[in-house]
Structure 1
Amino acid sequence: MKLAQRVAVVTGAGGGIGRAIALSLAQRGCHLALADINGATAELAAAEARTFGVRATHHQLDVACRYAVRTLPPVVRAAHGRVDLLVNNAGVALGGTFEQVSEEDFDWLMEINFHAVVRMTRAFLPLLKASDDACVVNLSSLYGLIAPPGQAAYAASKFAVRGFSNALRHELAGTSVGVTVVHPGGVNTAIARNARVPAAAPEEEVERGRKIMQKLLPMPASEAGEIIVRGIERRQARILVGSDAKIASLLERLAPVSYWNLLRKAIKA
């Protein structure tokens, strides 16, 4: 996919992987509509993207709000005239076992991590189909490949993104719209540090979990963003970001039931 002079919509673009994707796209001459729940960070990302000579607009967007998602496409079309690439990156994290996590918190995460992906895709698909060369890029996770304990809600949302993306790709085969699903491994962003935790979870358990997670996030966001954009250029159906994601994918295929016994030992080591 030739990205120069294309137009991309990126959610969660105010920081982390979303911002890194946006800047990698800008370096290739791709114009941007950057959306984030934090309008100030989206504005800063758009300003940085413009230093590469592209047109970049910023949009404050709560992807969990049906009305906001539904009304964004005409705003982007008015500003840019077209949309060729949709990157559904916005996401949140939630720690705790299934029994610890409340129904409200579980639903909150699913609204942002999965239902928003579906809504954004539905909202922008008519504009994407009008392009001669377009792509939907959905951010799943390492936990859309494997499902560790303590991540029931997060893994459920990311497996759902994976399944939705794969089915949509098959449905859109033969059209100008491709579908890519991305599985980042340990990327050093704020999502783990800002993860919501159940009130019932013991504080020492929460802190121990955060320290373990931080050790598993070695890759800079900028590197992850560049890997993802290179994969988009190659029109890869699936992008595995990091050796941890590649190893987990292989282990899950070789030992689909018992892989966690092997990974648990490696993490403890």
Structure 2
Amino acid sequence: MKRLTLTNSTTVITGAANGMGADIARLLAAQGTHLALVDHDAESLAKIAAELNNVTVSTHVVDLRDDDAVFAAAAEISAAHPQVNALITCAGSSMLGNLDQLTMEEMRWLTDVNLWGTVSITKALLPALRAAPAAHITHLASVYALASPAGRIPYAMSKFAVRGFSEALRHELEGSSVSVGTVYPAGVRTGIILHGRFAAAIDPAVAARAAAAQAKMYHTEPADAAARIVRATERREARTMVGREARLIDVLVRVAPSSYWRAMRRALRAAIDTTTPAS
């Protein structure tokens, strides 16, 4: 497949105000890629946009759970940018808690953000991507779209669904000018787990302890992850692992598809403990 040239064309990034999305924006702007930045955080989005020079940058403050707002933003992006040839979906959140602690509303909220927000922006921008001579969609899933840990049901569920959506869409678009890839990051120091949500039934001190334990396991810097994601987009990769842990878990699940949790349980014990009272 022909390599995608991002310079002098437009890439749309969701979740662009912070973390990997912001670092991807900085990296692409430095190489001459025009940008449409999407996020619900207007203040942080404006700050990122102000950093980026010598390229066209538009900002779109959108709650990705609102389909009408997403499609309106896609229309604005198409009007402002004559050639959109890449979409990178970084928007997402996390949710701590086991099934007994979580409410249906809490689980649906996370699914709306992680899954339906990804589906909505992809569907809304697909006509613009099809209009480009060549285009690529990069969806960020997670290492938890390869292996599902205890204590992360709504997150793993939503990310497995993103994986399924991405793979099915790639097959639908086979033979077209648009390719689709899925990225599986592991342990990126974005702060998502520290600033993510937790079930209301959990003692905040217990949730903070579990989140801190998870964060200690993260080793990849956001800028390094961003560089790998940009490279995957340019190469139009179908499947990309980010971080050593992702590659190890990918192998583990292939070798032990029904018993991989035995190998993961001990390492994640403190990170999934949302029931032991805080001392």
Question: TM-score under structure 1 normalisation?
Answer: 0.96
CA contact (8 A) 1:180 1:237 kept: yes
Q: How many angstroms apart in 1 are the aligned matches of 2:124 and 2:181?
A: 17
CA contact (8 A) 1:140 1:184 kept: yes
Give CA deviations for 1:75-126 in whole Å, capped at 9, x if unaligned.
Answer: 1122112311111111011010112111111111011100111111110001
Tell me which residue corresponds to 2:21: 18
Residues 27-176 of structure 1 correspond to what in structure 2 (within 5 A)?
Answer: 27-50=30-53, 53-176=54-177
Q: How many angstroms apart in 2 are the aligned matches of 1:98 and 1:158?
A: 17
Q: How many angstroms apart in 2 are the aligned matches of 1:199 and 1:139?
A: 27
Please give the root-mean-square deviation of Cα atoms over the aligned residues, in Å: 1.4
Matched residue type, 2:207: V
Sequence identity (%): 40
Tell me which residue corresponds to 1:256: 257
Matched residue type, 2:7: A
Tell me which residue corresponds to 1:212: 213
Q: Flag the 1:38–1:266 CA change in 2: closer, same or farther, 3 A.
A: closer
Q: How many angstroms apart in 2 are the aligned matches of 1:68 and 1:27?
A: 29
Q: How many angstroms apart in 1 are the aligned matches of 2:127 and 2:199?
A: 39
CA contact (8 A) 2:194 2:212 kept: no
CA contact (8 A) 1:47 1:56 kept: no
Q: How many angstroms apart in 1 are the aligned matches of 2:87 and 2:237?
A: 15
Gaps of 5+ in 1: none
Matched residue type, 2:119: V
SS at match of 2:91: coil
Question: TM-score under structure 2 normalisation?
Answer: 0.92
CA contact (8 A) 1:100 1:200 kept: yes
Count of aligned positions: 267
**Residue 41 of structure 1: how far off its partner (Å):** 1.1
SS at match of 2:37: strand
Q: How many angstroms apart in 2 are the aligned matches of 1:119 and 1:203?
A: 32
CA contact (8 A) 2:214 2:268 kept: no
**Residue 266 of structure 1: how far off its partner (Å):** 4.0
Q: How many angstroms apart in 2 are the aligned matches of 1:164 and 1:227?
A: 22
CA contact (8 A) 2:137 2:233 kept: no
**Residue 67 of structure 1: how far off its partner (Å):** 1.2
Q: How many angstroms apart in 2 are the aligned matches of 1:107 and 1:208?
A: 24
Give CA deviations for 1:8-28 in whole Å, capped at 9, x if unaligned.
Answer: 111110010111111122122
Q: How many angstroms apart in 2 are the aligned matches of 1:82 and 1:191?
A: 32
Q: How many angstroms apart in 2 are the aligned matches of 1:207 and 1:57?
A: 36
Matched residue type, 1:25: L
